[in-house]
Amino acid sequence: MYRAYSTSHCVLELPEYHPFPKYKYAGVAEALQSHLEVRPAPAISWETLALAHSQDYLQKLRLEGLSRQESHKVGLPWSQSLLTRALHAAGGTLAATLDALQTGLGFNLAGGTHHAYSDRAEGYCLFNDVAVALAHLRAQGWQGRALIVDLDAHQGNGTAAFFRDDPTVFTLSVHAERNYPLKKEQSDLDVGLEDATGDKAYLEALEPALEQAFSHQPDLVFFNAGVDVLQNDRFGRLGLSLQGLAERDRRVLEKTQQANLPLVIVMGGGYNRDPQTTIAGHAQTYRLALEVLGTR
């Protein structure tokens, strides 16, 4: 049975009615417990974080935390629980990455914190978990090429900035063009879509983007599988159905299968006005991965 890592054991202190969907982490873990061995995500070490993030930024988080202005930019009030959860979310992605290199599949039921830069937090993201995982692999001597397929509804600006000058990492972001972040970074391939794109137009735009991205000939794939692309999402704007989401995921998974590559799936965003739709969308992604890739 494949493993998945969850931050559902982390208690995040937030004001009542805050839009951050902390409910979904326990909900997705529960929905998948009969399909996967769900483990508590381990905390990442500060030494590992320092392979990707600046020492000044990490020191500030450890000793002072974020200022009110910085917290406003993140969209989350500063607390020790916020930091603790972020450490475990990043640790889950690293653990999932090591699993993927061993078994072909790695699952983090959190992560996808693609707005974090090396020296600052943005958009619900303290640490860039995928950048940290790749930095760890490099430090251990891994010399492969990586592909980051970011299909969250928001551009992965922090991830694009991390790998802007790294020819061994190809970054693909398919997102709502008029959505957050207002200032986009340049990924290797950006596909900015109009609001209310819907299933058909989305999938038509996705297919050539995936063809180009996989032609990079990666040795490892990271999939930021945000479900904020669904209809009725508070922040997503793209208007996909659950069936369209499944087809989106299937195309990524089949491309990965055809190339016989290890895959790491991180959760990304999902803020549906119906909490059960958020949970169902995320759980569907992981179940599909097991269906398509779990028999290799």
- Per-residue confidence of the chain (296 residues) as pLDDT tens digits? 899 999 999 999 999 889 999 999 999 999 999 999 999 999 999 999 999 999 999 999 999 999 999 999 999 999 999 999 999 999 999 999 999 999 999 999 999 999 999 999 999 999 999 999 999 999 999 999 999 999 999 999 999 999 999 999 999 999 999 999 999 999 999 999 999 999 999 999 999 999 999 999 999 999 999 999 999 999 999 999 999 999 999 999 999 999 999 999 999 999 999 999 999 999 999 999 999 998 87
Q: Are 263 and 106 in contact (CB under 8 A)?
A: yes
Q: Which tokens belong to 129?
A: 């978990």
| 272: three-class secondary structure by DSSP | strand
Supply the pTM of this predicted model: 0.97
Q: Are 187 and 169 in contact (CB under 8 A)?
A: no
Query: CA–CA distance from 56 to each of 59, 119, 132 (Å)?
Result: 5, 8, 16
CA-to-CA distance for 47 and 94, rounded, in angstroms?
13
- Lay out the sheet containing 3-6: strands in order across: 37-40, 3-6, 105-108, 263-266, 220-224, 146-150, 169-176, 189-193
Bridge partners, residue 263, by sequence: 105, 221
Rg (the chain; Cα; Å)? 17
CATH number of the domain at 3-10+21-293, out of 3.40.1050.10, 3.40.800.20, 3.30.70.270, 3.40.50.2300? 3.40.800.20
